[in-house]
Amino acid sequence: MQTCERRYYSLFAVCLALVPLLTISFPRVIAYIPALAGVTGFAAYYFVFRARPVLSRPAVLISGVIVALMILSSLWAIDPEQSLERALKTSPLLIAGALLISCIMMMRLEGLRPYLRFLPWALLITALAVAVELGLNFPLYRMIRGEFDTELSRSVFNRATVTVILLLIPTLAIMGHYYSRKICALASALTIMPLLLLGESQSAQLALIVGGVVYFLFPCRWKLIWPVTAVLIYVFMLSLPFIFIWAFNQWAADVQTMPVLGRGGGNAGSRMEIWDYVSRYALQNPLYGYGVEATKQVPHFDTQQLYQKGDTILHPHNYALQIWMEFGVIGITLCGAMMGWMLMQMSKLAAPQARVAVSTLSAVLVVASTGYGLWQGWWLGLLFTVCAYTLIVIRLAGRDDHSMTNQ
C-alpha cells in the first residue's frame, strides 16, 4: 500500500478516535470532527485512489429529506427567520454526515483495518479520564478553563458519559477482531463501572441497561420481529403526545416523590411537565407543526410550573415530541419510514452484526428520548460517529465489497 493511502486511512481513523477523546473537555467540537472527516475524506478519495468517489444513496436521501423539510418548515414557522437560520446552519452538518457514511461504505477495509485499533483505546482512555475527572474534582477541566474556585456539577461530563455509552457496543465489537474475549471483557468493565459509579447521567445509565438487554435478548433470527418492531415504534411515536398528557395527569406527583427519579436526584417530574405542555401545544397544529426550533420560539406555554419553573423551554427533551412540535404527523411519518428502513436493513445482517446494530440503535433512542435537542451540533456529530462505528462492525464481518455503497 502506498504512503498516501496509509496516511489517508490513518487520518480517517484518527478523526473517528478523536470524537470520544474531545468530549472530555471540548464536547462541542465533535460537531465538526465527523463533518471534517466526511468532507475531506470524500474530496481526497479520487486523488489518493484514482477512483471516482461514490455517494451512499440512502445516506444522501435521508440527509436531503431532512434538510428539505427543515428549510420548508420556515414557511409555516412561528419565527420564520430563526427557523431558516437554524436550518441553514444545520444543513452542512447533515450533508457532511452523508459524506462520512459514503466514505465508510466505499473504503477498502484492508487499508483501514490496521488503524481501527485506535478506536477501542480512545474510548477506554476517555472513560478512564472522565472517571478521574469526576473522582478528583475536575482537575483537567478546571485547568483548561481556569475555573479553580468555581463549584462544578458532575453534569458537565454528561455528554462525555453519553458518548462513551453510545459508542461502547460497536467499539467492543471492533475490539473483538483484534483481542481475546477476556481482554474485551476487562476493557468493558474498565469503561462501564467508573462511569456508572461516579457519573450523573441517568440517560446514559438507562441507555446502557436497555442496550444491554436488547443485545442479549432481542430475537434477531425471527424475521417477523423486524417489521413488527418498526410498526410498534411508529405507532408509539404517533401516540406519544397523548401518552405524555395522560401520564403527567396520572403519575407525575407519585414519580416526583420516588428516591431516584424524583426528589432523590432525578428530573422525572420536570421532564413529565415539559412533555405535557409541549404535547398539548403540538396537538394544536398536528399536521405539519410549527417549524424548526419551534419550542424555543413559543413565548409562553400553558403550564402550572409544578416541577419545572418557567413557561418557556429550549427543546422538549424528547426526539419524537420535537418532531411532532416542528413537523407534525408528516415528520413523524417520515421518521417512522426511516426507522423502518433501518430495521429492515438490520434484518438482512448476520445475527452478531444485527445484535450490535439494533442494540446501538436502542441505546441512541433512549438518550434521544430523554436528553438532548435534535439539532444540537455535537449531538448530530455523535450520531454520525455512532453510525460510522456500527457500519465498520458490519463491514468487518466480511462484506468488504463496493456493492455496500448503496446499502
Write down the pLDDT at residue 260.
66
**Angle between helices 202-217 and 351-370 in degrees, nearest 10:** 150
The amino acid sitting at 318 is N
Q: CA-CA distance, 244 to 218, in Å (whole number)? A: 26
Q: Would you mind telling me the total number of residues written for the chain in this entry?
A: 407
The amino acid sitting at 360 is T
What does the angle CA 252 – CA 278 – CA 256 come to, to the nearest 5 degrees? 15
Query: Could you tell me the three cell numbers for 352?
Result: 452478531
Extract the runs of DSSP E, i.e. beta strands, from 320-390: none
- The CA-atom distances, in angstroms, between 210 and each of 98, 170, 329, 378, 399 are 27, 15, 27, 23, 28
Q: CA-CA distance, 357 to 339, in Å (whole number)? A: 12
Q: CA-CA distance, 185 to 37, in Å (whole number)? A: 30
Q: CA-CA distance, 309 to 393, in Å (whole number)? A: 44
Quote the DSSP letter at residue 397: T
Residues 6+ apart with CB under 8 A from 308: 269, 270, 273, 274
Residue that has been written with the C-alpha cell 460517529 in this structure: 385
pTM for the full model?
A: 0.93
- Report the candidate in 386, 391, 382 with the shortest Cα–Cα distance to residue 22: 382
Going 325 to 329 to 330 to 336, the CA torsion angle's sign is positive
Write down the pLDDT at residue 194.
80
The amino acid sitting at 319 is Y
CA atoms within 13 A on the CB side of 95: 10
Quote the DSSP letter at residue 403: G
Rounded to 10 degrees, what is the CA torsion of 378, 384, 386, 390? Answer: -170
- Report the candidate in 140, 136, 76, 63 with the shortest Cα–Cα distance to residue 102: 63
Q: CA-CA distance, 118 to 120, in Å (whole number)? A: 6
Q: Which residues of the chain have pLDDT under 50?
A: 399-407
Provide the 3-class DSSP secondary structure of residue 286: coil
Residues 6+ apart with CB under 8 A from 47: none
Burial call 235-269: b when 16+ CB within 10 Å, e when fewer: eebeebbeebbeebeeebeebbeeeebbeeebbbb
